[in-house]
Amino acid sequence: MRSACSGCGSTAAGSALFIFYVSAGHIRSVTLRAVLAAAVVLLSSAPMEIAASTVDAPWYLLLALFWAVLWRPRTRTGMAVAAVVGFVAAASTSLAIVFAPLLAVRVFALRRARDQAVTAGWLAGCLVQLPVIAEAAASGQSRLVGGQAPALGRGDPLGDALRFYLHDVVLRSVGWHLSWWLESRTTADWATLIVGVALAVVLGAIMVRQPGTRPFVAVALLTGLVLTVVPVFLTPWAAVVPVTLHYEVEARYSALPVFLIEAALIVGADHALRRRRGPGPRPGTVRRPALAVTALVAFLAVSWVADFRYAGMRSVPAAHPWPPVAAEWRHDCEVSRTGAISAEVPHGYTTILCDRLRF
């Protein structure tokens, strides 16, 4: 368990440092870039699922991949790092394929080959994934062909995916505990409406008053929406299983979109600071940009303090008793005549090939 947490923590910290560095082209303020990096480590939904599980570390890599796609490194070292991030992220999770349209825009906008290091790394990672995806589809195990999928949630997968985005991304973007407090005072729908309207007003004001932020905010919000809807559409039961204060199925799907909403707010705050012109304020007055930045940092800090180290479904000691599970699988593989074993999963059983396991 310690090694699992250590591996995931290293990935989160490395992604945070990478994002701090490469976001300089969009966020000039070092303080706000530090806040953005902190948003990776203190992501509100992380303790629910991805923070204590190495197998879910690729979700931190997707955060880094987004910024790598927007980055234009000037040195060979930078290009090499971008290529490595693209490769590792794509080779770690097949969901990285969703970045294809964004990378296609990059290829169209930047015609020189030296600007496509991250694209090359991403493509190489996708090629690593291709045989695995094809094999899973051929064996009926892939979710692309309905494998491992119970009937639960099959009625309206697209509508359920959109509702998942509203209830589990938009509402939770203000922080896990704060969103639950708001929901307890109203209802899930009213709480979502309140947060959604507040975000729409703030982000709308940013886009109207700051033309330079429009491309980033639009890309961030659209990417977050797509990165939520696609996996939930393929995993429809994630949207219909009841969510509680300590349990949310597929909470990892909300990691990137929540982070990108916070990133859009931080970029807006940074551009507000850039617009300061003229002589200093009169005695006893405070510039509105500075006040807005202070309010944003205070809001994020309060949310992070409330959510830090809470007991989610993967952060409790008994969440994953891996030693006895691994011992059982090892024994089953030793006596298996087919070279495969059957393992219990939340919605039934799945087949695991013994030669894929490393004990």
User: For residue range 77-115, what is the model confidence (pLDDT) as tens digits?
Assistant: 999 999 999 999 999 998 999 999 999 999 999 989 999
Going by C-beta distance under 8 Å and a sequence separation of 6 or more, which residues neighbour residue 58? 89, 92, 93
pLDDT, tens digit, for every residue of 290-326?
A: 777 788 888 888 888 888 766 666 555 545 566 777 8
In a domain, 263, yes or no: yes
Could you tell me if 290 and 338 lie in one domain? no
SS3 assignment, position 23: helix
- Answer yes or no: are the C-beta atoms of 66 and 39 closer than 8 Å: no
Residues 356 and 254 grouped into a single domain: no
Let me know whether 172 and 268 are in one domain. Answer: yes
- Verify that 221 and 163 share a domain, yes or no: yes
In a shared domain, residues 225 and 341: no
Regarding whether 299 and 259 lie in a shared domain, the answer is yes
Asked whether residue 120 is domain-assigned, the answer is no
Query: Would you state the pLDDT for residue 3?
Result: 43
Domain containing 346: what range?
321-359
Are residues 304 and 334 both part of a single domain? no
With contact defined as beta carbons under 8 Å apart, do 258 and 15 qualify?
A: no
Domains of the chain: total = 2
* 312 falls within a domain: yes
* The model's pTM: 0.83
Say whether both 240 and 336 belong to one domain: no
Does 122 fall in a domain? no
Question: What pLDDT score was predicted for residue 130?
Answer: 87
Q: Which band of pLDDT confidence, cut at 50, 70 and 90, is reported for residue 287?
A: low
Closest CA to 89 of 137, 130, 57: 57
- Tell me: do 326 and 229 sit in the same domain: no
Question: pLDDT-based confidence at 353, cuts 50/70/90?
Answer: confident
Residue 218, domain member (yes or no): yes
Q: What is the pLDDT of residue 285?
A: 42
- Same structural domain for residues 338 and 222? no
Q: Are residues 299 and 342 in the same domain?
A: no
Amino acid, res. 267: V
